[in-house]
Amino acid sequence: MSFKFSTASDILIFVQVQNLNVTKMNAELKLSKFAKYAWFVLAYNIIVILWGAFLRASLSGDGCGQYWLTCGGELVPSAPQFKTIIEFSHRLSTGLAFFGVLLLFVWAFRRFERGDYSRKTAFASFVFIVIEALIGAGLVLTGNTAGNWTPTRPFWMMAHLITTFSLLAVLTLTAWFASGGKPFRFNVQRKISILLAIAISGIFLVGVSGSVAALSSMLFPSSSLAESAAKDFSDTSHILLRLRISHPILSISVGVFLMFLAGWLKSRSKENYWTNRWANALTMLVLIQFAFGTLTLITLAPIVMQLAHLFLADAIWIVFVLMAASVLAEERVFAESKFSAKTPSVFREI
pLDDT, one tens digit per residue, over 234-251 is: 989 999 999 999 999 999
DSSP symbols for 94-135: HHHHHHHHHHHHHHHHHHS-TT-HHHHHHHHHHHHHHHHHHH
% of the chain residues with pLDDT over 70: 86
Query: Does position 94 have pLDDT exceeding 50, yes or no?
Result: yes
State pLDDT tens for residues 79-90. Answer: 789 999 999 999
Judge whether 126 and 102 are in contact, CB under 8 Å. Answer: yes
Q: Provide the pLDDT for residue 287.
A: 98
Give dist(CA 178, CA 172) in Å, integer. Answer: 10
pTM comes to 0.87
Judge whether 62 and 146 are in contact, CB under 8 Å. Answer: yes
Helix, coil or strand: residue 71: strand
Helix, coil or strand: residue 347: helix
Judge whether 170 and 124 are in contact, CB under 8 Å. Answer: yes
Helix, coil or strand: residue 140: helix
Query: Does position 222 have pLDDT exceeding 60, yes or no?
Result: yes
Q: Provide the pLDDT for residue 256.
A: 98
State pLDDT tens for residues 162-213. Answer: 999 999 999 999 999 999 998 887 777 889 999 999 999 999 999 999 999 9
Q: Provide the pLDDT for residue 349.
A: 42
Domain boundaries, the chain: 29-181, 183-342
Mean pLDDT over 210-229 rounds to 91
